Chain A
Amino acid sequence: MKDQHIISLIENTSFGSISEKDLQTIEAHAAECDACESAFAAARLASVMLRERTAETFEPSSFFQTRVMAHVRERQAANETWAWSRIWRSAGALASSMVAAVVALAVLTFVVPDTSINGDLVDASARNGYSVEEVILNPGDSLEEVSDGLILTTLYDAAEDTVK
């Protein structure tokens, strides 16, 4: 029981804060008890070791701030990229539906041919023996040979067919 008391005196507080009275009690007991003497010696040594270790410190190097600021900027840039990608992801559905609509309109406008109009023009040309392009673009070639009535028929028959 007495041994326990001595050891708890050592362990209850840091070695440096053991009171003078307690220290005398411990030393007196340690002189008679091998186990407590060993514990006391170890506690004393541990205290010295910890203070030696605490005395060691490092100071920041001159480049420390620069390095940290570089990392801060890197993180900020990464966060900005992430924020943009989040915005893109949330608006992605809307944007992709808009793109799909634009593509569909472009396909309908430029790729799919308007067969009804072209067909009517071809029919009118076949009936008159002249195409609309021929009449408009090459007026000099056959103007003298072609009557005004034929020109009008070629141009306006096609338009009328389209309207119908």
Chain B
Amino acid sequence: MADTRLRHPQYFNARRLLSQSHEQASDLELARSARAGDESAFEEIMRRYSPRVFRFASRFFRQRSLVEEAAQEVFLRAFTELDSFAGRGSMEGWLTRITTNTCLNLLRSAKRRPELTVSDLTEDETAWLDSIMSATATERHESSERSLVAADLTDRVLHTLSPDDQLVLMLIDGEENSVKDVVKITGWSESKVKVQAFRARRRMREAVEKLLRRKPKASATA
């Protein structure tokens, strides 16, 4: 049965005042309040960091439902592990680490797609490959429709790689993070990040090369 006090105007006023006081609170203060059972403190944490968590989870998943599922799992884990946030590092870093681990776990539990071949490409994807290969070096395409096709194709290629490969490629080659940034995000050693990135680039390049190989040379090198 719903608590009738929740509909009382005083309840809303109290909540508003509480959330106003939380807006000025530091991350550590919010974490302490949330640990003590203050739900509005945790809501403030979500308000501050959910855009970042969504943005990060979007690197791994292209369906909104999957991104939401991952983000929800991130905040549920964050809530249960609030004790482990001691304020030594930033809350953003702490949440990014949780997001990375959650997304990697979700990717690992998903079935890896088989190798992509030219015959698997849609007409739009083939047309996009043709156009990009005939364009100048790294020129971006303005058309959002084309971007969608490109993102779709990239996603299909990425899902033939391991979750760890996908992670380093998106972070270093996609978002242009430094190796040190990725060390902080993943908790891996610097050498592991470098080796993983090197191998992931090779595998990605080989996967793309296979797509280009059967294309007419004129369109691939123009």
Residue ranges of A at the interface with B (Cβ–Cβ < 8 Å): 10-12, 14-17, 37-39, 41-61, 64-65, 67-69, 71-72, 75
Contacts and interface: CB of A to CB of B under 8 A. Distances in A.
10 contacts: A11-B198, A42-B208, A45-B133, A46-B201, A47-B173, A48-B132, A51-B140, A68-B72, A68-B75, A69-B42
A85 B18 CA distance: 34
Contacts, number: 141
B151 A12 contact: no
A12 to B, nearest CB: 7
Given A44-B138, A47-B173, 4 more contacts: A47-B138, A50-B204, A52-B150, A58-B54
A67 B157 CA distance: 33
Interface of B: 39, 42-43, 46-47, 50-51, 53-55, 57-59, 62, 64, 67-68, 71-72, 75-76, 79-80, 129, 132-133, 137-138, 140-141, 147, 150-151, 153-155, 157-158, 169-170, 172-176, 197-198, 201-202, 204-206, 208-209, 212-213, 220-221
Contacts of B150: 48-49, 52-53
Contacts of B205: 10-11, 39, 42-43, 46
Contacts of A58: 54-55, 57-58, 64, 67-68
Contacts of B147: 52, 55-56
Nearest to B209: A42
Contacts of B208: 42-43, 45-46, 49
A15 B137 CA distance: 11
Contact of B170 (A37, A42, A50): A50
Which of B154, B155, B172 has the most chain A CB atoms inside 10 A of its CB?
B154
B212 A15 contact: no
A27 B50 CA distance: 43
B72 A52 contact: no
A72 B76 contact: yes
B201 to A, nearest CB: 5
A119 to B, nearest CB: 59
B50 A64 contact: yes
Contacts of A55: 147, 151
CB-CB nearest 7 A-B residue pairs = A54-B174, A52-B150, A42-B209, A49-B154, A53-B154, A50-B174, A14-B173
A15 B208 CA distance: 14
A84 to B, nearest CB: 18
Nearest to B67: A58
B221 A37 contact: yes
B163 to A, nearest CB: 15
A55 B46 CA distance: 23
Nearest to B74: A68
B76 A68 contact: yes
Given A38-B212, A55-B151, A68 B46 contact: yes
A56 B46 contact: no
Contact of A49 (B42, B153, B197, B213): B153
Given A15-B138, A45-B132, A50 B173 contact: yes
B149 to A, nearest CB: 9
A43 B170 CA distance: 14
B42 A52 contact: no
Given A41-B212, A46-B208, A65 B174 contact: no
A50 B173 CA distance: 7
A56 B157 CA distance: 16
